[in-house]
Amino acid sequence: MAEENGNDNVSESLQPMQAESGVIINASQMQSIDISERFTRVKTETGWRIQLNAPGRVTINFMTSMRKFETTLMQGDIIERDGEDLILLRNQQADAYRSQRGVSPLARSVERTLGSEPAGGKTV
């Protein structure tokens, strides 16, 4: 695997991270990872570790059925490949990440949508 950022050395001083929440994925089914913001990658004995340097969107594309997994990670969160496992380690509980998602107009609450209508009511 070619190194994009010049980190060819295996780091022996990686400290274990205690995560508040996380996701474990079978890495053999993974095709690619798209990370929307800055990150740092370090090789390990059994894979690699990516630490996000800014909050961003991460998309993991799978080889089968054109499936994908999308999530938002925050600065300091880690994506780690350890053998056949891909582990997303989050610094906060899973509920904190739900509020980080962008809300589409279709997902807005009924009250907010009704409240934004003109005073004259609905037009058909």
pLDDT, mean over the chain: 76
Residue 122 lies in a domain: no
Provide the number of structural domains found in the chain.
Answer: 1
pTM, two decimals, is 0.64
Q: Containing domain of residue 62, as a range?
A: 21-101
Question: In this predicted model, what pLDDT tens digit does every residue of 31-64 receive, in sequence order?
Answer: 999 999 999 999 999 999 999 999 999 999 998 8
pLDDT at 106: 46
Question: Which string of DSSP letters, residue by residue, matches 54-100?
Answer: S-EEEEEEESSTT-EEEEEE-TT-EEEEETTEEEEEESS-HHHHHTT
Q: Per the domain annotation, does 26 fall within a domain?
A: yes
pLDDT over threshold 60, residue 118: no
In this predicted model, what pLDDT tens digit does every residue of 72-112 receive, in sequence order? 899 999 999 999 999 999 988 877 777 665 544 444 444 45
